[in-house]
Structure 1
Amino acid sequence: MTSRRHRFVFRSVWRLDESPEAVYAVLERAGEYPLWWPQVREVHALDGMSGTARIRSVLPFDLWITGRATRHDPDAGVLEMEITGDVAGWARWALRRDEASRSGGTVAVYEQQVEVRKPLLRQLAVPARPFFRANHALMMRAGRRGLERWLEGGLDDD
């Protein structure tokens, strides 16, 4: 049974200078996320539709998840997956051309709804909620910056 106190809903909007097609081409390759997203520490493919990942942001714990693709639609600009593991639920990228951008950039909307499953996190879900939300926001900010650098031609070893 899902408890509201163990549930988190996240939404991030990234505005990027590259085209939706270029952004989609990077986001659909989840196995490469550790190359540009520092908090995605490792990804292991299980098959063509699923894989496991270890994620760690500022807070001193790892999240282990298994993701299974439920929608892969380049024409609509949508990537969606079901998540199980330390958190369970779903995540979705929805990309569209940024009409306000002169460069033909992209608006990338990331949405996630998950329930905390890891026992320690379930105990901390209420008192540490602001820290969990801040942790997620920092992770998303670093992901956007990493993706921007990756789209510009890769990351330097600085």
Structure 2
Amino acid sequence: MNRMSFYRPTFVKITQFSSSNKRIKDSVEAVYLFRTFAEIFHRGKQEILLVMSLDEDNRLLGMEVIPVKESQPLRASEVFAGSILRKANAIKIGRFTTSDLMPSPSDEWMAIRLTKAGDFLGIAVKDFIIITDKQYFSLMDDGSKESQLPTT
């Protein structure tokens, strides 16, 4: 007889943002929270994704750090896991990089793929933001990308 293991996913509260009840209205506010979170939890040079889970009023429910590995493609299950457990209505994704600010073809492909996965799950991808030390680039703020990400 084979034995099967069962797991119960849980969240551990590491820190609390003072603005956790504030509505995230635009990419400027999202980048501010992404940078605040990254200062606390990201000390290395490795690229990371931060996924911000939002409720129906665009209030912050939580955030996850996902390391980006050059050799492995990012899986949608990694991106949406915390948001599903939090019953989020939407997410905003921030990619921290030390390289080029402009989105690469793989960034655009990832944004489209995650948007389609979010549509299937009922979790809207509100924005995909590339963040460097001094600047950021939002695919939603750039008019040429509006057809790739939902506008609501």
Same fold (TM over 0.5): no
Higher RCO (CA < 8 A, seq sep 6+): 1
* Larger strand proportion of the pair: 1
